[in-house]
């Protein structure tokens, strides 16, 4: 049985070869992953395994960096570094700020 990441040989159409500019939040998650990786908190293999365990429904609905973000959230809770409550409170703060200002970059 294929995992959600195993799409080799399937017809998904052509690959878009255009350069993609990362958004602010994508740069942030990339930097966070680099730091926690360099500190030995989460390895690349753990990140890949966590993402592959999402299953088709979740995997197929998230973008590349959304998968990284979801994996990081799960790993931080599983390792006891953050609680789900702490994450939920911060997300609520960010949503409020965004509704009020339309800006998240300085948060």
14 part of a folded domain: no
Please state, for a pLDDT cut of 70, what percent of the chain lies above it.
Answer: 85
| 10-32: pLDDT as tens digits | 566 777 788 889 998 899 999 99
Report the number of distinct structural domains present in the chain: 1
Whether 71 maps to a domain, the answer reads: yes
- CA atoms of 49 and 46, how far apart (whole Å): 5
- Residue 15 counted as domain residue: no
Task: CATH number of the domain at 73, please.
Answer: 1.10.472.20
Is 94 within the bounds of a domain?
A: yes
pLDDT, tens digit (0-9, with 9 covering 90-100), for 38-62: 999 999 999 999 998 988 889 889 9
Residue 3 lies in a domain: no
Whether 47 maps to a domain, the answer reads yes
39 lies in some domain? yes
* Pairwise CA distance, residues 91 & 104, whole Å: 11
Q: Determine the structural domain holding residue 88 and report its residue range.
A: 24-101
Q: Is residue 9 part of a domain?
A: no
The arithmetic mean of pLDDT across residues 72-77, rounded, is: 96
């Amino acid at each position: 049985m294929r995992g959600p990441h195993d799409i080799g040989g399937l017809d998904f159409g052509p690959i878009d070869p255009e350069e993609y500019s990362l958004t602010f939040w994508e740069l942030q998650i990339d930097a966070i992953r680099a730091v926690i990786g360099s500190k030995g908190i989460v390895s690349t293999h753990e990140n890949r395994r966590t993402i592959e365990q999402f299953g088709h429904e979740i995997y197929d609905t998230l973008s590349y960096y959304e998968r990284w973000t979801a994996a990081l959230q799960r790993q931080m809770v599983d390792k006891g570094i953050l609680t789900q409550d702490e994450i939920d409170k911060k997300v609520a703060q960010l949503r409020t700020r965004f509704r009020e200002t339309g800006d998240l970059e300085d948060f």
